[in-house]
Amino acid sequence: MSNHLAVAQLYNTYPFPPDPLLDEPPPGYNWRWNWLTAYNFCTGQKPPREDIRILDAGCGTGVSTEYLIYLNPQAEIVAIDVSEKALSMAEERCRRSGVKENHKKKVEFHQLKLEEAAKLPGEFDLINSVGVLHHLPNPEEGIKSLANKLRPGGLMHIFVYAELGRFEISLMQQAIALLQGERRGDYQDGVKVGRQLFASLPENNRLVQQEKKRWSLENHHDTCFADMYVHPLEHDYNIETLFKLIDASGLEFIGFSNPGYWDLERLVGKAPDLIERAKNLSDREIFRLIELLDPEITHYEFFLGRLPLIKADWSKDETLLAAIPERNPCIHGWPSQNIFNHDFQVIILSEVKFLFLSACDGQKNVGDILTEVTLDLAGVRSLLQQQLILLAPA
């Protein structure tokens, strides 16, 4: 059985992710799937266009596709996957929730391998590929295939596994495969073997402890258990091998979408001498140092871009005053001084910052608003740094 067929068979047996189908649009948001906020994160400004094309490369049962449709009302959406059963569920999910019917632009689904993306017509402004590249026979071939479909100035959002935080998972995968023997590829049998192992091992066993501590809640569902422990093909990365994959794409690495994790200060900030020593390291060496010191990371989630990608500079006061601000669409709880930001972290706004955000209507520039609200430019820049506002150049 080929690698692609084995992966398709797994997801035909256990379509993933197993999120229930709803009769209403999906709740909340994932800012990485919102073109406005993703572009702002990567460039520091609102995108010049919203009528874009988005590719969901490896859509599974359509959880990401549904959000991409819902959060990007002016975008054309194309979703592909290798699993016929998962793809069918993705179409049903987007039909049943109403997001496809209410979407004014084209939405398409195709059963297609990532490596065959060249068969799709045209180029894309945003390519989303979450949890897929690491399940390909040759991930470098896959990322090159996607990169070739990315329009100049476009963004790619990628999610792949990290080896350090998945060490115990890898051990259990190998143990299950050994016990399955010739029955490997019978995914229901693999789940049975894995369940028996966890039930039989001592309570103080390291694999059992990690499963209970980190994974057991989601792995209550056999689909999640199968995806984690009996997958037929998986590549796990560290910083060094990750950047070999990124370099193969020919795209620019823009940054991890969880930048707080990659801040060395949070780990050794109490030792200024170590921070000073780290200044001699390259960015990649600092990333490697961080994951070595805090090896809990289970995946890397990041953005790549195709040049030319124009990044904003708001350091000059006159440029900032002329910019037109609007509220980040991925804010929960507005209007209130107590809100959740794009990462669902609690933000408590001062009264003056609340008034400034209230005046951000996408029409008035910063200077006009500051004639009505007594906020200084440092306060405006703090809202920008917190990604509570998006700025469009004058």
Distance separating alpha carbons of residues 98 and 107, to the nearest angstrom: 12
Task: Tell me the per-residue pLDDT of 13-26, one tens digit each, with 9 for 90 and over.
Answer: 999 999 999 999 99
Whether residue 57 is found in the same domain as residue 124: yes
Whether residue 41 is found in the same domain as residue 84: yes
Whether residue 148 is found in the same domain as residue 223: no
Q: Look at the chain and report how many structural domains it folds into.
A: 3
Percent of residues, the chain, with pLDDT higher than 70: 100
Q: Given this model, what pLDDT does residue 2 score?
A: 87
What is the rounded average pLDDT for all residues in the chain?
97
3-state helix, strand, coil in the chain (%, to 5): 45, 15, 35
The tokens for 280 are 């001699």
Q: Does residue 197 lie in a domain region?
A: yes
Whether residue 382 is found in the same domain as residue 321: yes
34, 22 in Cβ contact below 8 A? no
114, 80 in Cβ contact below 8 A? yes
Domain that holds residue 326: 317-389
Whether residue 14 is found in the same domain as residue 82: yes
Residue range 170-178: mean pLDDT, rounded: 98
Residue range 349-359: mean pLDDT, rounded: 98
330, 33 in Cβ contact below 8 A? no
Whether residue 13 is found in the same domain as residue 150: yes
Whether residue 142 is found in the same domain as residue 213: no
Q: Given this model, what pLDDT does residue 261 score?
A: 96
Task: Tell me the per-residue pLDDT of 207-226, one tens digit each, with 9 for 90 and over.
Answer: 999 999 999 999 999 999 99
Whether residue 211 is found in the same domain as residue 146: no
Q: Given this model, what pLDDT does residue 37 score?
A: 98
Q: Given this model, what pLDDT does residue 1 score?
A: 67
Whether residue 182 is found in the same domain as residue 325: no
